Amino acid sequence: MKPSKQIYANYTLEDFEVWKLLFNRQIEYLEDKVATEFLESLEKVDFTSDRIPNFEEVNNTLSKYTGWQIITVPNLAPADIFFNHLSKKRFTATCWLRAIDQIDYLEEPDMFHDVFAHTPLLSNKEYTDFFQKMGQRAIQVICEPEKVTMLQRLYWFTIEFGLIKSSEETKIYGAGIISSKSEAEYSLSNEPTKLEYDVAKIMNHPFRTDVIQDTYYVIDSFEQLSKSFDQIDTQLFS
């Protein structure tokens, strides 16, 4: 049974080994491929390879920058619960780590994905402004499945699998890419389709969760995301 609360003393030597291996491997690989904003945020939250993040300490740090918090859940949260937490500046995260023999592939998100890949950018004001507003819109339409699906697509192609223009280069900010070396390598290659950020296209673009993506959307900045809610509202409410 997966834990619903982080009990730091319960982490094993294998857990620390898994965290260190994944952290070092991804940092080394992503250093020149990930958005500057992510690297800056990683420093803010003070994540290192030698220590699994302590949620209480992380929340104290996040509260100073944006007021966000991470809360522990055992598995993926249903859409209504997930978006409700987002609307209140809370991100749901697992606190368990994959086993050493699952180091390269995992069917469901573990703590490395949720915490290493998602949490640092919760210290970025413009990024979290977009995140919270998405949650607020979702709560408004939570009884309309088609509109919830539109917002899930927006989440997927930005927060999970988004790319960003940085110093004339295309870089990674989506957590689903950050936590996967194979997805990171593929997303920056010439093979997939890369499109400019377009709310209408994204909200009508179905996705699959069980494959590497074949299309990515590229934003100019996190400010572009936070300023796109007129377009988002047009899709949801017109």
Q: Is the pLDDT of residue 1 over 60?
A: no
CA nearest neighbour of 191 among 211, 213, 171, 208: 213
Q: Are 96 and 106 contacting, i.e. CB atoms less than 8 angstroms apart? A: no
The mean pLDDT value for 182-210 works out to 95
Task: Return the SS3 of 70.
Answer: strand
φ, ψ for residue 196, nearest 5 deg: -65, 150
Q: Is the pLDDT of residue 32 over 80?
A: yes
pLDDT at 108: 77
Instruction: Say if strands 163-166 and 169-172 run parallel, antiparallel, or are unpaired.
Output: antiparallel
Q: Is the pLDDT of residue 175 over 70?
A: yes
Q: Are 201 and 191 contacting, i.e. CB atoms less than 8 angstroms apart? A: no
- What is the Cα gyration radius of the chain? 17
The mean pLDDT value for 160-167 works out to 92
pLDDT at 76: 74
Alpha carbon distance 146, 132 (integer Å): 20
* DSSP, residue by residue, 84-152: HHHHTTEEEE------GGGTT--SS--HIIIIIIISGGGG-HHHHHHHHHHHHHHHHTTT-HHHHHHHH
Residues in a beta bridge with 91? 70
Q: Are 195 and 185 contacting, i.e. CB atoms less than 8 angstroms apart? A: no
Q: Is the pLDDT of residue 5 over 90?
A: no
- H runs (alpha helix) in 9-99: 13-30, 36-45, 55-65, 79-87
The mean pLDDT value for 12-25 works out to 95
Q: Is the pLDDT of residue 77 over 90?
A: no
211 Cβ contact list (under 8 Å, min separation 6)? none
The mean pLDDT value for 201-213 works out to 94
Domain ranges of the chain: 8-237
As a CATH number, domain 8-237 is 1.10.800.10
Structure confidence at residue 106 as a pLDDT band (50, 70, 90)? low
DSSP symbol at 53 = P
Q: Is the pLDDT of residue 171 over 70?
A: yes
- The predicted model scores a pTM of 0.93
Q: Is the pLDDT of residue 103 over 90?
A: no
- Core vs surface per residue 119-134: b (16+ CB within 10 A) or e: bbbbbbebbbbbbbbb
The mean pLDDT value for 97-117 works out to 85
pLDDT at 37: 95
Q: Is the pLDDT of residue 61 over 90?
A: yes
Question: What's the pLDDT tens digit per position in 38-50?
Answer: 999 999 999 999 9
Per-chain mean pLDDT for the chain: 93
The mean pLDDT value for 148-152 works out to 97
User: Tokens for 157?
Assistant: 């192609």
Structure confidence at residue 181 as a pLDDT band (50, 70, 90)? confident
Tell me the percentage of the chain whose pLDDT exceeds 70. 97
DSSP symbol at 161 = T
Alpha carbon distance 67, 222 (integer Å): 18
The mean pLDDT value for 109-122 works out to 93
The mean pLDDT value for 27-56 works out to 95
